[in-house]
Amino acid sequence: MSHDSTKKTITVALGVCLVCSVLVSSAAVGLNSIQTANKKLDKIKNILAAGDLKSEGQNPETIYKEKVKPIVIEVKSGDVLPESKYDEFTKPESFDIKSIVQNPDYSTAIAADQDIAGIKKKPNYMVIYEILGKENEVEKFILPIYGKGLWSTLYGFLALDKDLQTVKGITFYEHGETPGLGGEVDNPKWKASWNGKQAIDENGQVVIEILKGIVDPTNPNANRQIDGLSGSTLTTRGVDHLVKYWLSEQGYGPFLAKMKKDGADEKI
């Protein structure tokens, strides 16, 4: 092959690469808004699923606006952040766990002996969701949860009843666990088994537990136990740990304690 032919071949190849790069970049930019919208809609659907709000045949965003009230809390104190103090990182519409934990001003490193969820850092603020019933009374609380499984970080929502003790639903909207094994966190039957289980006792202690095996219904503690995921010990352990972490004093414990106290004060 002559020198000129080689030069032409390289020129054509570079030209094709350049055109392909432009097309791929243009497609990525053009699809970004669609991907963002789909991600937001998927998150809304999972919040509704955790709160057992049916959306078949209806616009999920409409149901969300009518039945769900997002609030921002300071994790350490459990205090609700006033809307007047929202900023680009804390406003519910754009709140993103992955982004906020990368910002040292909005996150805190977790001591290794306390990091049972394997997340290393936690947000200083979290958005939680109140499910509203008749006369806008709070019926449930949807709590974002996340932590390490076997292959991935699992992100999901845990719903607690207004008694702040009983699980009303759980769902995971993002993970990379093995299909058929750890991926069974998506199994509707397994998720349904959480409904009605006691997560926290009267003293505020986290009592829910995911077993390695199957729950024995004759066990006195069966009402606070969940079947393990068959063939996936490490994912089971990861879910057990992340749920316990976020319900503990390291997670939503201070908020739940304040809500329970406020409820008790109202009854006096």
End-to-end CA distance of the chain: 94
* Better-predicted residue by pLDDT, 68 or 19: 68
User: HEC profile for the chain?
Assistant: CCHHHHHHHHHHHHHHHHHHHHHHHHHHHHHHHHHHHHHHHHHHHHHHHHCCCCCCCCCHHHHHHHHEEEEEEECCCCCECCHHHCCCCCCHHHCCHHHHCCCCCCEEECCCCCCCCCCCEEECEEEEEEEECHHHCEEEEEEEEEEECCCCEEEEEEEEECCCCEEEEEEEEECCCCCCCHHHHHCHHHHHCCCCCECECCCCCECCEECCCCCCCCCCCHHHEECCCCCCHHHHHHHHHHHHHHHCCCCCHHHHHHHHHHHHHHHC
Supply the pTM of this predicted model. 0.85
Is pLDDT above 50 for 268?
Answer: no
Average pLDDT over residues 161-178: 96
Contact 155, 174 (CB under 8 A): yes
In sign, the C-alpha dihedral spanning 266, 204, 157, 227 is negative
Q: What whole-number distance in Å separates Cα of residue 252 and Cα of residue 165?
A: 12
Is pLDDT above 60 for 29?
Answer: no
> Which among 200, 227, 232 has a CA at the least distance from the CA of 216?
227
Is pLDDT above 80 for 10?
Answer: no
Q: What whole-number distance in Å separates Cα of residue 155 and Cα of residue 148?
A: 9
Q: Tell me what pLDDT residue 146 has.
A: 98
Average pLDDT over residues 108-135: 96
Average pLDDT over residues 8-27: 63
Is pLDDT above 60 for 94?
Answer: yes
Q: What whole-number distance in Å separates Cα of residue 109 and Cα of residue 111?
A: 7
pLDDT tens for residues 50-79? Answer: 998 887 778 999 999 999 999 999 999 999
Instruction: Please identify which residue in the block is written with the tokens 């659907």.
Output: 45
> Which among 186, 123, 175 has a CA at the least distance from the CA of 149?
175
Would you place residue 39 in the very low, low, confident or very high pLDDT band (cuts 50, 70, 90)?
confident
Would you place residue 28 in the very low, low, confident or very high pLDDT band (cuts 50, 70, 90)?
very low
Q: What are residue 205's phi and psi, to 5 degrees?
A: -85, 140
In the predicted model, what is the mean pLDDT of the chain?
89
> Where does residue 107 rank: exposed (0-12), middle (13-18), buried (19+ CB within 10 A)?
buried
Q: Tell me what pLDDT residue 267 has.
A: 45
* Better-predicted residue by pLDDT, 70 or 22: 70
